Amino acid sequence: MNRLLGAVCALPPAIAFAAAFALSTPLPAQEAEADPAPAAPPSAFGKPDPSLVSGGHYEADPHHTLVEWSVDHLGFTPYFGIFGDVAGTLDIDPKRPEQARVAMSIPVASVTVASAGLKSHLLKAPASEGGKPDFFGPKPEDARFVSTLVRITGDQQAEMTGNLTLNGITKPVTLQVLFHGAGTMPPQMGGGEGLGFDATGTLKRSDFGLDFGIPMVSDEVELKIAAAFMKAAADKPGS
């Protein structure tokens, strides 16, 4: 022990202090049982597995279907907003995904942006009676997208073209669609099958009569969509 203390004293002061502290500190008693490993998080109900898609008629989940739009503002930054509360339907046969059909309704009046002033401008009435509003006006009709063609482009990927009606004008829009996941909800959450996709696309707002501020605010609008669909649980025999 004396030799050990002598060796410690021969060390540089900072290291000698740390070594002496370590020697003088009793080791904690070993616990009888090790703490159990943390429980693994519960697995997601949906998985990126197309075999889990049973097919049929699905209703859009308005609480988890979002349409994000983004424009370039003055060349400095992108600015984005969101449409929620989206309603609609999906009819799909997993054996013939190219025959899938989608019809969606998007409430323009409930547009969400970070700036209260911008939202007021988007929904502002025209300056004069009978004039044209800068953007949507105070009582805009819901936008509507109805698919017309689906082309499979890769593993779990497709290109969907449809007619978008916005601001009273109908034009074709093409979306790149990626399968996100499918699965069955637990009984306590109502059961039924969930199905979801990601989609992206672009459009020119001037095509829909929304040309205010161009080119300071870009004509091109980028779209990023999260589309969730649900199918009610099948009735049990005899129920």
pLDDT of residue 190: 81
Flag whether pLDDT at 61 surpasses 50: yes
What is the rounded average pLDDT of the residues 35-43? Answer: 50
Distance CA 16, CA 22 (A): 10
Percent of the chain clearing pLDDT 70 (strictly above): 80
pLDDT of residue 84: 97
209 pLDDT band, cuts 50/70/90, is very high
Handedness of CA 173, 141, 106, 69 (dihedral sign): positive
Distance CA 168, CA 170 (A): 7
Mind listing the pLDDT tens digit for each residue in 128-140?
988 999 999 999 9
What is the rounded average pLDDT of the residues 77-92? Answer: 98
Indicate the average pLDDT of the chain.
86
Q: Which region holds residue 152: left if phi is over 0, alpha if psi is between -120 and 50, else beta?
A: beta
Give the count of beta carbons closer than 10 Å to the beta carbon of residue 55: 16
Q: Kindly state the tokens that stand for 137.
A: 């006006």
Give the count of beta carbons closer than 10 Å to the beta carbon of residue 59: 15
What CATH code is assigned to 46-231?
2.40.128.110
Give the residue extent of every domain in the chain.
46-231
44 pLDDT band, cuts 50/70/90, is confident
What is the rounded average pLDDT of the residues 201-220? Answer: 98
Compare 84 and 5 and report the one with higher pLDDT. Answer: 84
